[in-house]
Amino acid sequence: MRRLLLCLGLLLPAGTAAAQHNHASRGTQEAFTATPAFGPDGTLWLVRTEGSRVVVVRSSDLGRTFTAPVAVTPEPLNLDWGPDARARIAVDPKGVAIVTFAIFQDKNFNGRAFHARSTDNGASFTKPQPLTADTTSQRFETVAIDPAGRVFTAWLDKRNGPAARKAGKPYPGAALAYAWSDDEGARFADTHIALDNTCECCCLGVAFAGPGRPAVIFRNIFPGSVRDHAVVTFSDPATPGPLNRVSADNWKIEACPHHGPSLAIAPDGSQHAAWFTDGTARKGLFYARADSTGAVFGPPRALSAPDRQPARPYLLAEGAALHLVWKEFDGDKVSVRWQVSTDNGRSWSAATTVANTGDASDHPQLVARDGRGYLSWLTKNEGYRLIALGGSS
Amino acid sequence: MKRRAPITAIFAGLCLIAAVAAAQVAASADPLSFTRGSWAKLRTAHAGQPTVIHFWGLTCGPCLVELPQWGKLLKERSGLRLVLVAADPLPQEPQRVSATLAKAALGGAESWSFTDRFYERLRYEIDPAWAGELPRTVMIAADGQIAVLPGVADLAQVRTWLDAQTKAPR
């Protein structure tokens, strides 16, 4: 067992070294991400982007050993290598795994989002199909299973831009698009636009307020090109609710921050957001909570200090616990810092370091099983790690 | 110790200037590789000279719009020490970096490009409080004093700064 773990640890950095060699010779960008999901039987599924391929591996021993990679994209693709892009995976209550990912269609960062699924416990994946028929641009797609087991996907879509510009109207950013699947991710129904003019290059966060009630957090474009965060909570599967601004940071920027937020909903219905901003009102990484759907978010609480580059927050509600992680840099090492709340985000433990690394790293991810939260983190030096939060399991 | 440090620095500086000169021979030459320790080398190479360092990125739309303005400024001010650093979080194709600069009439300027994926470290060496937003302009006076212009630079401000530098007593 230990030997296998070591092997995996060695394999991953070797892959990165090969990728870096490619940089030198071809200068191509390499995606370097691992996104986790637990299946109903407790199996850990990981979707990884390795160069120009998307592969899935599984572990039945909490990340100590993994199955051989199974390709979701057999042919090499120009995967979206943006710093906030990643392939996603969700496993439904019957053990069907749905993967989403995007490719670049051109050199102007227009994307095309795809989905594929496995109904044979990861032995094979269906041929990837576009998430939507429109070909303008889709990026930052994400997939999640609602509490009733229905598959929801959301992404940033640029379909409304060309028509607006043709009519002489400006169209900043993209639109928040979504679709549902009623056949466990085999097909997705018609695309709907929840709202226009979101920021176009930050990942989305999704949580559920109940069955058929996704809540999506995203960087919005407020008047004056202010790119602050907002949450839209659906009142039913077809009705996105009003936009609820998380915080007035006043980050006016005509650019792409490539730094998306995270959202969790606690059992009492309270909403929890974490995000990065460089606004005039505040700079750095922040957390805020709202008592319920649509309620005003409370005052932002700073996570760490701006001179430690705090970044890439992730929130997860599991049982009675709310977990919050982010990464920061002390001039030598990047650390994943963790806080936990057991009173629905009213008070939090002091931040502690869960893991660190001395080189490049993916964004930290959280995943939960049997009431326990885990940090899922891919780093260049150490390879992939799954670490139980709050001590060994 | 006190006597040795400047000699080492001068030597490092000469090496770097030689490398930069070599890089500038061909207009389409690849940018210099910006990795751990590069910031200190860059600072040393330009120490004692007013220098404008412009951080941009191929993946940054406003940067691409702004670049030709820097090309114009460089043409207008022959003595301008302008250094361009492509600070994309993911290393970009060197040919695209140099081609983009050439198109903006910046083919002859000193150019670097992030080639290390440990971008937290590169940014920290430059400025611990810099979270990576682009564009960003750092102006370093002869005495080492630093002025930062976050976002698209107001070139009038840069010109005023440059004028103040030439008037400043050496």
**Residues with Cβ within 8 Å of residue A209, at least 6 apart in sequence:** A215, A233, A234, A265, A269, A293
At A57, give phi and psi (nearest 5°).
-125, 155
* Range B69-73, long-range pairs (CB < 8 A, 24+ positions): B69/B155, B70/B104, B70/B106, B70/B155, B71/B104, B71/B105, B71/B106, B72/B105, B73/B155, B73/B158, B73/B159
Structure confidence by residue, pLDDT tens digits, A96-111: 999 999 999 998 889 9
Contact B90 A83 (CB under 8 A): yes
The distance of A217 to chain B (nearest Cα, Å) reads 21
Per-residue confidence (pLDDT) for residue A50, from 0 to 100: 83
Per-residue confidence (pLDDT) for residue A367, from 0 to 100: 98
Closest residue on chain A to B127 (Cα) = A307
Cα A235 from Cα A242, distance rounded (Å): 9
Neighbours of A162 (CB within 10 A): 11
Pick from B50, B9, B46: nearest CA to B140: B50
**Amino acid in the structure at residue A289:** R
Tokens of A4: 């296998």
Confidence of residue A15 (pLDDT cuts 50, 70, 90): very low
Tell whether the model's pLDDT for residue A25 goes beyond 80: no
Tokens of B112: 């670097």
Query: Average pLDDT for residues A241-262, to the nearest whole number?
Result: 92
Residues of chain A with pLDDT > 70, as a percent, come to 91
Residue for token digits 């860059």? B42
Cα A100 from Cα A142, distance rounded (Å): 7
| Chain A residue numbers touching B89 (CB-CB < 8 A) | 83, 258
What is residue A247's DSSP assignment? -
Number of helices (H), then strands (E), belonging to chain B: the values are: 6, 6
Nearest to A257 among B116, B124, B133 (CB): B133
Give the residue with greater pLDDT, A14 vs A156: A156
Contact B89 A258 (CB under 8 A): yes
The distance of A177 to chain B (nearest Cα, Å) reads 23
Contact B94 A311 (CB under 8 A): no
Pick from A304, A325, A329, A320: nearest CA to A367: A325
Residue for token digits 């636009």? A193
Number of helices (H), then strands (E), belonging to chain A: the values are: 2, 27
Nearest to A29 among B91, B121, B134 (CB): B91
Per-residue confidence (pLDDT) for residue A14, from 0 to 100: 34
Structure confidence by residue, pLDDT tens digits, A78-99: 999 888 999 999 999 999 999 9
Tell whether the model's pLDDT for residue A342 goes beyond 90: yes
Check: CB of residue A130 under 8 Å from CB of residue A114.
Answer: yes
Per-residue confidence (pLDDT) for residue B129, from 0 to 100: 87
Tokens of A290: 């709202």
Per-residue confidence (pLDDT) for residue A8, from 0 to 100: 37
**Residues with Cβ within 8 Å of residue A48, at least 6 apart in sequence:** A33, A34, A35, A54, A55, A56, A57, A69, A87, A378
Contact B128 A309 (CB under 8 A): yes
Per-residue confidence (pLDDT) for residue A253, from 0 to 100: 83
Closest residue on chain B to A82 (Cα) = B90
The alpha carbon of B114 is separated from its chain's Cα centroid by a whole number of angstroms, namely 12
**Residues with Cβ within 8 Å of residue A67, at least 6 apart in sequence:** A57, A58, A59, A122
Neighbours of B59 (CB within 10 A): 23
| Chain A residue numbers touching B121 (CB-CB < 8 A) | 329
Helices B38-45 and B119-126 cross at an angle (nearest 10°) of 30
- Domain CATH number, residue B72: 3.40.30.10
Cα A56 from Cα A124, distance rounded (Å): 9
Cα A277 from Cα A284, distance rounded (Å): 6
Per-residue confidence (pLDDT) for residue B28, from 0 to 100: 56
Cα A132 from Cα A157, distance rounded (Å): 10
Positions in chain B short of pLDDT 50: 1-5, 15, 18-27
The alpha carbon of B133 is separated from its chain's Cα centroid by a whole number of angstroms, namely 15
Question: For the whole model, what pTM was predicted?
Answer: 0.87
Q: Which domains does chain A have, with CATH numbers?
A: 29-201 (2.120.10.10), 202-393 (2.120.10.10)
Check: CB of residue B92 under 8 Å from CB of residue A24.
Answer: no
The distance of A224 to chain B (nearest Cα, Å) reads 15
Pick from A28, A104, A12, A340: nearest CA to A114: A104
Tell whether the model's pLDDT for residue A29 goes beyond 60: no
Closest residue on chain B to A310 (Cα) = B131
Residues in chain A: 393
Note down the domain range covering B24.
Answer: 4-167
Residues of A with CB under 8 A from a CB of B: 20, 23, 26-30, 32, 81-83, 109, 253-259, 276, 278, 283, 306-309, 311, 329, 331, 334, 359-360, 380
The two beta strands, B110-114 and B32-34, are: parallel
Domain count, chain B: 1
Q: 3-state DSSP call for residue B70?
A: helix
Residues of chain A with pLDDT > 90, as a percent, come to 85
Pick from B110, B89, B106: nearest CA to B31: B110
Nearest to A255 among B94, B118, B134 (CB): B134
Structure confidence by residue, pLDDT tens digits, A183-207: 999 999 999 999 999 999 899 999 9
The dihedral of CA A128, A258, B85, B80: what is its sign? positive
**Residues with Cβ within 8 Å of residue A70, at least 6 apart in sequence:** A55, A56, A57, A118, A122, A123, A124, A125
Check: CB of residue A286 under 8 Å from CB of residue A301.
Answer: yes
Per-residue confidence (pLDDT) for residue A9, from 0 to 100: 36
Pick from B38, B44, B53: nearest CA to B12: B44
Nearest to A255 among B60, B94, B129 (CB): B60
Q: Which helix (H) or strand (E) holds A320?
A: none
ipTM over 0.85: no
Check: CB of residue A312 under 8 Å from CB of residue A365.
Answer: no
Neighbours of B78 (CB within 10 A): 6
